[in-house]
Amino acid sequence: MASLTITLNDGNKIPWLGFGTGTAFFGKDAEDATRMAIEHDLLHLDGAQLYKNEESLGAAIAASGKPRSSFYITTKLEKISLGRTVRDMLVTSLEKLRLGFVDLFLIHFPIEHEQPLSAIWKQFEDVQKEGLTRSIGVSNFRIQDFEAILDKANVIPAVNQIEYHPYVFNANQSVMKYMKEKNILPASYGGLSPVIRFRGGTLDPVLISVAGRVSKTAGQTVTEGQVLQLWLKAKQIPVITTTSKAERVQEYLAAEALPDLTLEEVSAIDEAGTKVHHRYFAKYWDNEGSAL
């Protein structure tokens, strides 16, 4: 069972490991996979309006029979439909999720909104005041996107959920520095991309070497994916990941109890990641086109 939490700037705590219902489940029923995650006590569940499967997430939560207090639930705002408000959009999500509130509500993308980001953020502050969400934050925000909301903000975003792994370590350094100064927690999605999407890169030998050392120390086989989780853990960055396989959920959960990486190992992974750049999501960060 995952137990490590990280405290946000609003005093709420976010579990370090989360189960995402996007990527492989985008536009698909995620109920069975989410039930499987819940059965393994992975109770930080990350959804979004854009994924078009909040009903199946809600069904899995309801079927578990577990109390609401057991869960940490995130959803994210898609573009606001014509004639609707942020509150309208969140209430619709809550109905689908069968919940009275979410723990974290994020602006999914900072681009392609008809309203200014500052106006959207003001509405986020309002739904937080109303108790429809405990924490508010953003996703895929660059420095310029933060600057569009922070001048008029009464609440600093608690989280910025971004693609984060060693192959974007270098490109993301400026926004990471900015967030640290503002006490905004980065959360990682796509964190296992180096072993899932970008095999054969400069990281491979380093990950293999570190996995060997941690395996020896732990007295059990440690995977390269778990090394990437430990790299994120060393940086106090929550990990949002996903799978349809029970053994993979067990692997993700087991990483929390593994020996920590050394400072030298973290630095070696940083350095190997800076030698090449790979971003899979939110390509507009690199001026490469569309948001998805």
Query: Beta-strand (E) ranges in the chain?
Result: 5-7, 13-15, 17-20, 44-46, 72-77, 102-107, 133-139, 159-163, 185-189, 239-241
- Which residue of the set 51, 72, 164, 189 is catalytic? 51
Q: Are strands 185-189 and 239-241 parallel, antiparallel or unpaired?
A: parallel
- The pair of structure tokens assigned to 142 is 């660059």
Report the SS3 class of residue 138.
strand
Q: DSSP states of 148-211 as a string? A: HHHTT-SS--SEEEEE-SGGGTTTTHHHHHHHHHHT-EEEEESTTHHHHT-TTSTTHHHHHHHH
Binding site annotation covers 108?
yes
Per the annotation, the verdict on 252 as an active-site residue is no
Tokens 């014509």, residue?
82
Q: Are 195 and 163 in contact (CB under 8 A)?
A: no
Q: Tell whether the torsion through CA atoms of 176, 178, 181 and 182 is positive or negative.
A: negative
> Helix (H) and strand (E) counts for the chain?
11, 10
The answer to whether the beta carbons of residues 185 and 8 sit under 8 Å apart is yes
∠ CA 42-47-48, nearest 5°, is 170
- The residue written with tokens 């309208």 in the block is 88
35: exposed, middle or buried (Cβ count in 10 Å: 0-12, 13-18, 19+) = middle
Q: Which residues are annotated as a binding site?
A: 108
Q: Which residues are catalytic?
A: 51
Q: Which residues are annotated as a binding site for substrate?
A: 108
